[in-house]
Amino acid sequence: MKFFPRIKITYRRLGVALLIVGAAGFGYVQWLGLDEVHYPREVITRAHALHEQMLSFDGHLDIPLDFNTTGKEANRDGPYQFDLAKAGGGRLSGAALTIFGWPEMWEGPNAPHRPTPGMQEEARHQQEIRYRSITSIAKDFPNQAGIAYTPDDFRRLASEGKFAIVMSLLNAYPMGQDLSEIDRWAARGVRLLGFGYVGNNAWADSSRPMPFFKDIPDELGGLSPLGEQAVKRLNTLGVIIDVSQISKAALQEVVALTKAPIVASHSSVRGIVDIPRNLDDQELALIKSTGGIVQIVGFPTYLRPLSKGTLGKLNDLRKEFALPPLETLDNLAHAHMPGDPQIAAWPESRFGEYAGRLYGIIDQEPTATLPDFVNAIDYAVMKIGIDHVGISSDFNDGGGVVGWRNVRDARNVTAELIQHGYSDADIAKLWGGNFLRVWEEVQALANSPEAPALSGQPISHPDATEAFSADQPILTQDE
C-alpha cells in the first residue's frame, strides 16, 4: 500500500489519549470523550496509525452561512460538525467544502413560499457568502489550511500538516441559464460541480422533484440542452462532474456525454433504502463505467429503512391529508419528503403544515449507526468494486450517524471498516485514494486550448474578481 507520510503537523491535533475498558477479560478502547462506539484495542490502534499515514478525504461537507465569523472562527472547536480543530483531532486530511444556494422558501412572514425571481438572487447571494467563507479559511489561517486546486496541491498541503480544501459547487439553480457561470466558478477555484439539488432546474431534473415548486418528474427528460453543453464544458475545463441529487435519466445522459470519470459525491444505495435519491445498481454500474466513484454518504435515513412505527405514523398523517398509503406507491420517496403530485394544488399554508409534521415524524426515527454506514459501503463495493467507492459525510446538512457525529470521529469510520474486514490498502482507497485518482484523470483529459491551466497558481478570468456587493470585495484565488 502506498501511503503519503505526514511531514509536520501545524493544525491543532488532539492527543491520542485512550480510555481502556475491561470487557470479558480483554481490552476494549474508545476515543477519549466518545462513548457511542467501542472497538478492540488493536483495531483502534490500527485506525489511529492509518490516519497518521494515509490521505483521508470527506467528499461532501457543507458550510453554514455564518461559518468563520466572529465567535465561530474556523480554527476554534465550535458548534458545527466541521472546523479545523475537529479535523485535526480526527486526522482528516481534507474535504470538499460546498458552495451551495437554494430558494429560501421558509424565510419571511407566512412561509413557506413558492419560488420567485428574488429567490434565485438570494440563492446567488448564499453561494457568494459560502465562497467567501471557504476562501477565508485559507486566508485567515494559512498555517493550518489551504485551497487545493490540483491533486498535487492536496498532497502537498497534507504533507505540510495543513487541511486541504477542495472547492465544490452544488446546485446550478442560482446560475440561471448562463453557461459562462461554469467558467467563472472554475476560474475561482471550483473543482467539483453538481447540477442538482431538491427540485428541478434549468440544467437537469432532480431525483427529488418538488410539486410545491410545480415540478413534474423527469420534465426535462434528464438534462436540458444547457445541461448537455455544461457536461462538455466541464470536461474541457477539467472540473469533476458530480451526479449526486440528479435524476436517473439525467445521470444516464451525463454518462453518455462525458469523456471523463464522474463522481457521486454524497449518495447511498437503493438496494438498501429504496428512494430515488439513492443510486440503484444500474446507476452504480454507469458511474463505474466512466472510471468514476460513488462516495457513500453518512446521511441516516439513506442508510437504513424507516421503521415500521415511523411508516405507520406517516401513513396516519397521509390519511389526514387525503394522500394514498405509502405501500401503494412505487417506492418510499414520499415517506422522506413532501413529493406527492397532489401537493402542487395545495395552498402554501397546507404544504407548510404537512411538511413540518412529516419532518417532525422522521426526526424521531432512531439514528443510523456506523455499522449501517459501512453496510452501504459493503454493498457498493460488492456491486462495483473497491476502486469505485469513497466516503462523504454531508455534515452540516443532515449528515452524521451514531459514532460519526462530526469530523473528529473520522477514525471511528476507519475502525468500523477494519471490523468489516477491509485491508489497509483498501481503506486508503476508500478514504481518498480513489478520489485523487479520478481527479487526476479528469484534469488529464481536459483537452481544449481554451481550458485554463488548473494549477495551484491564480487563474485569470474576466469575471473572477467581479464584486458581488459594493461594500465587500470578492476573494480571488490568490488572496
- Residue count of the chain, please give it: 479
Residue 447: band (very low, low, confident or very high) from pLDDT cuts 50, 70, 90: low
C-alpha cell at position 171: 446546485
154 inside domain: yes
CA–CA dist 165, 477 (Å, integer): 12
pLDDT at 31: 47
Chain centroid to CA 285: how far?
20
Q: Could you list the residue range(s) of the whole structural domain that residue 242 is in?
A: 56-304+368-445
CA–CA dist 355, 369 (Å, integer): 26
Q: Report the number of distinct structural domains present in the chain.
A: 1
384 inside domain: yes
CA–CA dist 266, 242 (Å, integer): 9
Cβ–Cβ < 8 Å for 370, 412:
yes
Chain centroid to CA 236: how far?
23
174 inside domain: yes
Name the residue with cell 490502534. 45
Q: Which residues pair with 395 in a beta bridge?
A: 61
Cis, peptide link before residue 112, omega less than 30° from 0: yes
**pLDDT tens figures, 192-202:** 999 999 999 99
pLDDT at 40: 95
Residue 111: band (very low, low, confident or very high) from pLDDT cuts 50, 70, 90: confident
Query: What number of CA atoms fall less than 13 Å from residue 136's CA on the CB side?
Result: 21
435 inside domain: yes
Query: Over 90: is that where the pLDDT of 458 sits?
Result: no
pTM, whole model, 2 decimals?
A: 0.88
Residue type, 465: T
Dihedral sign from CA coordinates of 80, 81, 86, 92: negative
Query: Over 70: is that where the pLDDT of 475 sits?
Result: no
Q: Which residues pair with 57 in a beta bridge?
A: 94
Question: CATH number of the domain that 246 lies in?
Answer: 3.20.20.140
Q: What is the mean pLDDT of residues 449-470?
A: 40
Q: What is the mean pLDDT of residues 47-75?
A: 97
Query: Over 60: is that where the pLDDT of 465 sits?
Result: no
Q: What is the mean pLDDT of the chain?
A: 88
pLDDT greater at residue 477 or residue 102: 102
Alpha-helical (H) ranges within 259-347 are 281-289, 300-303, 308-320, 333-336
**pLDDT tens figures, 357-393:** 999 999 999 999 999 999 999 999 999 999 999 999 9
66 inside domain: yes
CA–CA dist 212, 204 (Å, integer): 18
411 inside domain: yes
pLDDT greater at residue 111 or residue 427: 427
269 inside domain: yes
CA–CA dist 209, 341 (Å, integer): 10
C-alpha cell at position 216: 413534474
